[in-house]
Chains A and B, each alone.
Chain A
Amino acid sequence: MLWLNFKRVVRTGFVQFWRNGVVSLSAVLVMIVTLFVIGGLLFSSALLKSSLSEIKDKVDVNVYFVTSASEEQILEVQKSLEALPEVDFVEYVSRDQALSDFIDRHANDQKTLEALEELDENPLGAVLNVKAKETSQYESVAQFMEANYSSSDPNSIVEQVNYFKNKDAIEKLSQIISAGEKLGFVITIIFIIISIIITLNTIRLAMYISKDEIHVMKLVGASQTFISGPFLVTGAMYGVVSSILTLILFWPLAYWLGPVTKSFFGGISIFEYYISDFGKIFLIILCSGIIIGSVSSLLALNRYLKYKRRK
């Protein structure tokens, strides 16, 4: 009996979707917009994440050593830094490497290179580039350096820790990153709510057209489940069809925007993201479509379904 009813409900839902072609088309079009917003937010959050990690990657603390510091002393500092739990890794740049990097950087600046040649010896000290696990942890790394190898001590081998120079910029960046993540989340939620309301209203309009039909179904003795089932299936169909169309539309768009996003955001291209994470994107869009379509149908149906008798 249950299976028989289920089969009837699904069959009627499909037939309803097909025969109410114009209503289905308008619901599908509105849902495409909603799913487009959800998909767009998926893409932009992936872009934001990748460009944030790019920026985070560029943040580090550099410890500059005096030129007289021996390699053993520097490696000892490197070891003690690596022992800190906050530190991800420490890169050692020797004096020679620092000089060659400097020359490379100023390859087009003839005057600086000439001035460098005038000097008898390499004026650059070795550098340790310290990478912390989180941007917020740079402060404690810098404090550790200050406590153990204070640059203000005349005997210290450390000439300068550039964190204090960059402190404001790093703090600002940390704040921007965390605010960006929060703002992105809030905007996502607001957009999704707005799109769901628009979809709900479109489906409500579709239900309004069917209200006489629902009344007749009630009069011939159909139960609430038997009436609402096909509408639920039709709502889910709106979701399935519109999610497939949305994914098809995203393909050329991602292909076209891919190179632009890659050069602008510096991280991944959205086309690569679309291809590599297709399964995840497909599931999110499809499930959102089915849930929004069927829940909107149920909410819209609710007012016509109840056995409300006027006293």
Chain B
Amino acid sequence: MIYFDNVSKTYGDDTPALKGVNLKIDANEFLSIVGHSGAGKTTLLKLLLAEEHPSEGTIFFQSDNIHDLKGNEISQLRRKIGSIFQDFRLIPNKTVFENVAFAMEAAGRSEGEIEADVPHAVNLVDLGHKMWSFPRELSGGEQQRVAIARAIVNQPDVIIADEPTGNLDPINTYEVVQILKKINDLGTTVILTTHNKGVIDSVGRRVITLEDGKIVRDDPTGKYVI
């Protein structure tokens, strides 16, 4: 489903972020990426979202070479990928409903679909009672759950979660991981980056370890080992 073919990325100041990465991610996989800060985890995800351009190599999402996409084609790609970030990245002046609905509006879905699917997604992350609250009125855990609802509402093929538990306490961390596992069980590919050993160990699925921009370990049912 996703292929990284000998991908390298060097930033403007000659700092190498990724070096010759070869990676294949299958549909319905739950892949965790671990590594120290600066190991290249976020760069890998940014390349997949077409936020960055690889210095060398190619990345395929299904049959598309991400590197060749332009303008609206990038928007189309991103509608197939749901993103969750450590800092939640909600739109501050939109309510929970509007934040989730925005992803559907952007994808051109009808009002009827939005009316039906948004409450469903929000209820799935157990925030039905906060439907009309603004992000500033929610706790960190709740904001992250809204971000998850926004990521899944378009039923994407892949969910990218970049250290989603980084700002959360253990209880919220547990809940977020459970939601991600549930999403994966329903057939969506999940790519998770994290520093949290407990998260990796509780998931018990494929883990790749990045070190200085290189994949140094790829375990099918890995544990957190650095």
- Interface 9-mer from B33-41, B106-114, B117-125: B106-114
Cβ-defined partner of A5 (8 Å) among B49, B53, B108: B108
Check A221–B111 contact: CB distance below 8 A.
no
| A111 beta carbon closer than 8 Å to chain B | no
Contacts A220-B78, A221-B75; A309 near B105 (Cβ below 8 A): no
- Interface 9-mer from B88-96, B174-182, B192-200: B88-96
- Interface 9-mer from A27-35, A58-66, A222-230, A282-290: A222-230
Return chain B residues, CB-CB under 8 Å to A8: 105
Return chain A residues, CB-CB under 8 Å to B108: 1, 4-5
Check A4–B89 contact: CB distance below 8 A.
no
Check A213–B52 contact: CB distance below 8 A.
no
Contact with B along A1-42 (1 / 0, CB 8 A): 100110010000001100110000000000000000000000
Return chain B residues, CB-CB under 8 Å to A212: 89
Check B50–A310 contact: CB distance below 8 A.
no
Check A310–B106 contact: CB distance below 8 A.
no
Contacts A221-B106, A226-B106; A307 near B74 (Cβ below 8 A): yes
CA distance A218 to B74 in the complex (A): 9
Tell me which residues from 80 to 98 in chain B have a Cβ below 8 Å from any Cβ of chain A: 83, 89-93
CA distance A223 to B72 in the complex (A): 6
CA distance A15 to B91 in the complex (A): 13
Check A217–B106 contact: CB distance below 8 A.
yes
> In whole Å, how far is A9's beta carbon from the nearest beta carbon of chain B?
9
Return chain A residues, CB-CB under 8 Å to B76: 221
Return chain B residues, CB-CB under 8 Å to A222: 75, 102, 105-106
Check B105–A221 contact: CB distance below 8 A.
no
Say which size band chain A's interface belongs to: 20 to 34
| A147 beta carbon closer than 8 Å to chain B | no
Cβ-defined partner of B12 (8 Å) among A4, A15, A219, A310: A310
CA distance A76 to B126 in the complex (A): 103
Tell me which residues from 176 to 225 in chain A have a Cβ below 8 Å from any Cβ of chain B: 212-213, 215-224
> In whole Å, how far is A210's beta carbon from the nearest beta carbon of chain B?
9
Return chain A residues, CB-CB under 8 Å to B93: 15-16, 19-20, 213
Cβ-defined partner of B110 (8 Å) among A4, A16, A20, A220: A4
Return chain A residues, CB-CB under 8 Å to B11: 310
Contacts A4-B111, A220-B102; A310 near B74 (Cβ below 8 A): no
> In whole Å, how far is A194's beta carbon from the nearest beta carbon of chain B?
31
Return chain A residues, CB-CB under 8 Å to B154: 221
Check B107–A221 contact: CB distance below 8 A.
yes
CA distance A226 to B70 in the complex (A): 16
Check B103–A213 contact: CB distance below 8 A.
no
Cβ-defined partner of A218 (8 Å) among B78, B90, B105, B150: B78
Return chain B residues, CB-CB under 8 Å to A16: 93
CA distance A239 to B93 in the complex (A): 22
Interchain residue pairs with CB less than 8 A apart (28): A8-B105, A15-B93, A16-B93, A20-B93, A212-B89, A215-B89, A216-B89, A217-B106, A218-B78, A219-B51, A219-B89, A220-B150, A221-B75, A221-B77, A221-B103, A221-B106, A222-B102, A222-B105, A223-B72, A223-B75, A224-B71, A224-B75, A307-B50, A307-B70, A307-B71, A307-B74, A309-B52, A311-B53
